[in-house]
Amino acid sequence: MNSISMLPTVLVDITGSAANMLFSFLALWYAFRLTRLKPDNFLWGYLFYVTLAITAFAISRAVGHIAKEFLFIVGRGDLWRAIAPYSGGINTLCMISVSAVMIFYHKGVQAYEAIEQEAAKLKQSKIRLTRAARELKELNLNLEDKVEERAAELSKSEKKFRHLFTASKDMVFFTDSNQAILDMNASGSEMLGYALPESTRLTLRHIFRHEGDVAVYAKMLENDGYIRDLESEFKKKDGSTIYVLISATALYDEQGLMIGSEGIAKDLTRLKTMMEQLVSSEKMATVGQMAAGIAHEINTPLGIILGYAQLMMDDFAKDSETYQNLEVIERQTQASRKIVADLLKYSRQSGSAREPINLNEIINDAVAITEHSLNLNHVKIGLQLAGDLPALVGDPEKMRQVVVNMINNAYHAMEAQGGGELILRTRYPAGADKVIAEFQDSGHGIPESIKARIFDPFFTTKPVGKGTGLGLSVSYGIIREHGGTIEIESPVQGLGGMTTPGTLFRLILPVAVESAAIKE
């Protein structure tokens, strides 16, 4: 059997060993180039040393294989057997080097990553420091401009607040934790009747009419931190009462403790009075309708009683007791019929004339009728009638009845104190298309508790037998029938906010269309 030639094996071994060395050197050269590009890169440096160890191992192994093949070719196999242990030892050392380098790869990578993380942190810190330094530099350069700009903004904001505080027509106030008023605007001081220095020495207990409202105010702030639309009553310096609607907000310090409050109070006194008058008007309209029905029902039997009484009087002597009793029946029946007539006038069931009215003439006529009796009871009359007064249109007799009722009402208000002064004035505000007549007495005034009831039918404060309680009700109905209104002041508001005792009834009536001024 012929032996197989070993030449291909030898050639492959020699060629492979040469190629191994070539590629090892190429890898080492490439790794070296990477280290030159990024000298600080740990991975590239580590790769270079791994490649160097592998290259040494490849050279040792390749040289050993090539030397072996040449020695066997030249017939010196004995020499290879002599040096083979040394070649294997060198290979083993190179392999150990490669293994050692590979073993520390994981630890090296961890160390590299830790170093990279620290480097990234340092880099970020450097970026932040650079940015902060730049901002600080810009701040230093623009600090003065920024301070001036901020000061201007604060000044503008403060001016807006101050204008709102001073120009508001409502009360604006600030309190501390003890409910003492720290500051109040001029409108608030004027509303309460105090001068500005006085108002800052007040507490909420001074201005709330009811002590319980102070506790409610404090409790709502403590629980909710704010107050929305709290209706209450304030006490003015002169002791009178105003009705207010309060909104407030609690103020806190940095620790969250309440240190006071800021609030706004809107005066509702005029609105409340108008609402009461509106309710009274509606009620009076209803009562008027009822009164009309009752009056018609009563009028017929009263007429029958009066007629029969007068017929029976003809059958008895005038000096007889029966005749005198019939006279009492006749007198009381006529008084009852007068009350019924007043009820009909109040409910507007009686007819009304429509003709020009000179209000000054009606007042003069009424004064002429009542002046003697007023003087006997020590009531002085002062007339302040406007010289040029437009004409009104309506029923002169009904208007005369209103004026007489007003005079009698003022007289009864001053009767208990032994007299007084009654001022009657008329005026015509320019461009108002309204004529105003005022009746001001110096009597005891009208208590606040009954102001809303004085126009109610049959309501009176006079003793039994002194009045029916229909005078003001009828007057109110007549004025409304003429398109006017009646206002009341008690006590009377004077100039500068001062008040005087007594009552003022103000009749406001529309002037006639295209009327000329009436000369007195």
Yes or no: domain 355-519 corresponds to CATH 3.40.50.12160: no
Phi-psi region of 502 (alpha: psi -120 to 50; beta: other; left: phi over 0): left
Q: Which of 30, 86, 27, 80 is nearest to 60 (CA)?
A: 86
Strands 379-384 vs 420-427: parallel, antiparallel or unpaired: parallel
> Cα–Cα distance between 170 and 149 in angstroms, integer?
33
Query: Given this model, what pLDDT does residue 437 score?
Result: 92
| DSSP letters for 294-346 | HHHHHHHHHHHHHHHHHHHHTTS-TTSHHHHHHHHHHHHHHHHHHHHHHHHHH
CATH superfamily assigned to domain 168-267: PAS domain (3.30.450.20)
pTM higher than 0.75: no
Please say whether the beta carbons of 439 and 407 come within 8 A.
Answer: yes
98 in helix, strand or coil? Answer: helix
Complete edge-to-edge strand list for the sheet that includes strand 241-252 = 181-184, 171-176, 258-267, 241-252, 226-235
Q: Indicate the helix (H) or strand (E) that contains 235.
A: strand 226-235
| DSSP letters for 347-391 | TT-S----EEE-HHHHHHHHHHHHHHHHHHTTEEEEEE--SEEE-
User: Cβ–Cβ contacts within 10 Å for residue 221, how many?
Assistant: 21
Residues with Cβ < 8 Å from 114, sequence gap 6 or more? none
> Cα–Cα distance between 343 and 112 in angstroms, integer?
112
> Cα–Cα distance between 342 and 339 in angstroms, integer?
5
Both tokens of 126, joined, read: 């450097």
**DSSP H helices in 168-207:** 186-192, 196-199, 204-207
Please say whether the beta carbons of 31 and 51 come within 8 A.
Answer: yes
CATH number of 273-346: 1.10.287
Query: Given this model, what pLDDT does residue 470 score?
Result: 66
User: Cβ–Cβ contacts within 10 Å for residue 13, how many?
Assistant: 16
**CA 64, 70, 74 angle in degrees (round to 5)?**
145
Phi first, then psi: what are they for 441, rounded to 5°? Answer: -115, 170
Enumerate the domain spans of the chain.
Answer: 7-103, 168-267, 273-346, 355-519
* Amino acid sitting at position 431: G
Both tokens of 317, joined, read: 């002597």
Phi first, then psi: what are they for 111, rounded to 5°? Answer: -60, -40
* Amino acid sitting at position 300: T
> Within the chain, how many helices (H) and strands (E) appear?
13, 16
pLDDT (tens place) for every residue of the chain, 520 residues total: 455 666 777 677 777 777 777 877 887 788 788 778 877 776 677 777 777 777 777 777 777 777 777 777 777 777 777 777 777 777 777 777 777 666 666 666 666 677 777 777 888 888 888 888 887 777 776 766 666 777 667 666 666 656 665 667 788 888 888 888 888 888 888 888 887 777 667 888 888 888 888 888 888 988 888 888 888 888 888 888 888 889 898 888 888 888 888 888 888 877 777 776 666 666 666 666 666 667 767 777 888 888 888 888 888 888 888 888 888 888 888 877 777 776 665 555 455 667 888 889 988 888 877 787 788 888 898 999 988 888 888 888 888 888 888 888 888 888 877 888 899 999 988 777 899 999 998 888 887 777 777 777 665 656 544 555 567 777 888 888 888 888 888 888 776 667 788 888 899 999 876 443 333 3
Please say whether the beta carbons of 379 and 411 come within 8 A.
Answer: yes
